[in-house]
């Protein structure tokens, strides 16, 4: 016999069957509530509530407490060159849906090393970009030095 009491507004079986793992690329659709205060025609302050959906797409770094009631997962994405991490409760009613876009096989349960790896890769790319611009500047400096140097008189061969 099923209980008439509803425990959660979230379909818990569906969320548990997702089987989120570290290394998955997911898109999490959140419900964002925006409150707007304004004055009505009768000069009273009125608060309007607007609910919108917002997607957060990134790599799952960690899943904590599995599919238990307090299960959490951490998602990381790079937005405008800055790493952003969000921790979501698995059964939160503020999460409308979770889409698993890609599954990857990893050798670790927690991928926290990705934070440092991303920083290292960024530094390496900046160094490489700087190294490529340096030879161009050096060639231009050599060309200027050759043009401004006075030409030497041709040597006369001794007979």
pLDDT per residue as tens digits for the range 90-147: 888 899 999 999 998 989 889 888 888 878 887 888 888 887 765 566 666 666 666 6
Q: How does the average pLDDT of the chain come out, rounded?
A: 81
More confident position, 24 or 42: 24
Q: Are 61 and 21 in contact (CB under 8 A)?
A: no
What is the band of 1 on the pLDDT scale with cuts at 50, 70, 90? low
Task: Kindly state the average pLDDT of the residues 35-60.
Answer: 86
pLDDT, position 128: 84
Q: Which of 16, 21, 159, 154 is nearest to 90 (CA)?
A: 16
* Tokens linked to 77: 């994405």
Task: Give CA–CA dist 93/5, Å, rounded.
Answer: 17
């Amino acid at each position: 016999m099923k209980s008439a009491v509803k425990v959660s507004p979230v379909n818990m079986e569906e969320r548990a069957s997702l089987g989120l793992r570290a290394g998955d690329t997911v898109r999490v659709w959140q419900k964002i509530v925006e409150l707007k205060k304004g004055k009505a025609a009768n000069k009273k302050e009125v608060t309007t509530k607007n609910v919108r959906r917002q997607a957060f797409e990134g790599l799952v770094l960690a899943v904590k407490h599995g599919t238990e009631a307090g299960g959490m997962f951490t998602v990381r994405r790079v937005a405008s060159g800055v790493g952003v991490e969000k921790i979501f409760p698995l059964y939160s009613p503020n999460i409308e849906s979770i889409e698993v876009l890609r599954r990857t096989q990893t050798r670790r349960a927690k991928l926290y090393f990705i934070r440092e790896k991303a920083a290292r890769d960024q530094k390496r790319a900046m160094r490489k970009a700087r190294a490529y611009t340096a030879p161009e500047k050096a060639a231009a400096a050599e060309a200027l030095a050759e043009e401004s140097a006075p030409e030497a008189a041709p040597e006369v061969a001794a007979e």
